[in-house]
Amino acid sequence: MSGDLRTAPVPPGVAAEPLQPATPGSTPPNPPGTAVPDVLPAGEVGLTPEEAARAIAQVLLDGLDPETVPARSAVPVPAGELLMMPAASTAYVGVKIAGVAPANPGVGLPRITGSYLLLDGPTLQPVALLDGIALTSLRTPAVTAVALDRLAVPEAEHLVLFGSGPQAYGHLDALLAVRRLTRVTVVARRAEPAGALVRYARGLGLEAAVGTPADVAGADLVVCCTTARTPLFDGSLVPDRAAVAAVGSHEVDAREVDEVLVGRSALYVEARAAALREAGDLLMAGVTGAEPLWNLAELVRGEAPVPTDRPRFFKSVGMAWQDLAVAAEVHRREPG
């Protein structure tokens, strides 16, 4: 991915399966010279967590400035919210359309829906269509892994994981790709999903158990990937050695951590501009931007200090350049 990656503004308001040419009597194939998109089966993206994290880090090393990325477009709809997140580089253009439907889990459907369309940069011809949920489930943990790999102490082994949904599984996989964890404590509202995640972790060779919010006192890493709107734990319990990430919300009135943790931590975000628009974890704690607030590019490039005499807190709201970085890497790896 080139270093000129930028998100395109919008008005307010993995193994791919190539599409086959038409057979007689079917829909005619695309005209000569027209790109034929790959269609990734639902739930598949085609990168490992380590590869996705590497793609995220590489665009930052190549010169992407996340502070130049415009805001996502969020449109209220009867069932919830529609998000549109376009981004562009020299080589690729892409857009994710995601729906947030709060009532869906009550009828057995995912809370987040969506698709990602990847286009060729020079011609704007579609080249791939990805499952938006699978893409988000891969790229969000990859971003966290990039941050926490640089914020965690070298000997970090114990992860306290809040949540038991797809993002919790994705974060466990992504962190294992960059760190040698030995133990995970799962904290979730419902016992059955929490137990299932514990069994999954044990299957990966980890010591795993269901715990309580107070278990953050023994954590090296804390990751919050929930739909909570109020703090999940007492921030005074988090040890100075710990690195904490919160990824569950991009709303100004929702937070997973309290003002105590924010006030005593070194602070890191994907982009200052995005965080000061959308990061309720910071805004509800009184963060104004006057405080030292390091972005992910500065962290990846080694420009941000990483103290160990206090917690390090990374707040993620999700940005369109991350989707494009991962989707483009998926497409580059496709045969042919």
Distance CA 78, CA 204 (A): 41
Residue with tokens 């709107």: 229
* Domain 17-136+321-332 class in CATH: alpha beta
* Domain span(s) for CATH 3.30.1780.10 in the chain: 17-136+321-332
Q: How many CA atoms lie within 13 A of 168 on its CB side?
A: 24
Q: How far is CA 37 from CA 24, 46, 125, 238, 268, in A?
A: 21, 15, 8, 47, 37
pLDDT of 34 reads: 40
Distance CA 6, CA 26 (A): 39
pLDDT of 10 reads: 32
pLDDT of 20 reads: 25
| Rounded to 5°, angle at Cα 106 from 104 and 108 | 70
Distance CA 152, CA 142 (A): 15
Say which CATH topology domain 140-318 has: Rossmann fold (3.40.50)
Residue 293 three-state SS: strand
Distance CA 159, CA 90 (A): 38
Question: Among residues 146, 204, 150, which one has the least CA distance to residue 172?
Answer: 204
Tell me the per-residue pLDDT of 194-249, one tens digit each, with 9 for 90 and over: 999 999 999 999 999 999 999 999 999 999 999 999 999 999 999 999 999 999 98
Under 8 Å between Cβ of 217 and 243: no
Six-digit token string for 83: 């998000």
pLDDT of 257 reads: 98
pLDDT of 28 reads: 30
Question: How much is the pTM?
Answer: 0.86
Run of H or E residues at 187:
strand 183-187
Distance CA 279, CA 272 (A): 10
pLDDT of 155 reads: 96
Distance CA 25, CA 180 (A): 56
* Domain span(s) for CATH 3.40.50.720 in the chain: 140-318
pLDDT of 44 reads: 60
Q: For residues 46-79, b (16+ Cβ closer than 10 Å) or e, as one string?
A: bbebebbbbbbbbbbeeebebeebbbbbbeeeee
pLDDT of 329 reads: 95
Q: Phi-psi bin for 2: left (phi > 0), alpha (psi -120 to 50), beta?
A: beta
Which residues of the chain register pLDDT less than 70? 1-45, 335-336
Q: How far is CA 126 from CA 27, 95, 129, 205, 322, in A?
A: 18, 11, 8, 41, 19
Distance CA 305, CA 224 (A): 23
pLDDT of 72 reads: 87
DSSP 96-156: EEEEE-TTGGGGT--SEEEEEEEEETTT--EEEEEEHHHHHHHHHHHHHHHHHHHHS-TT-
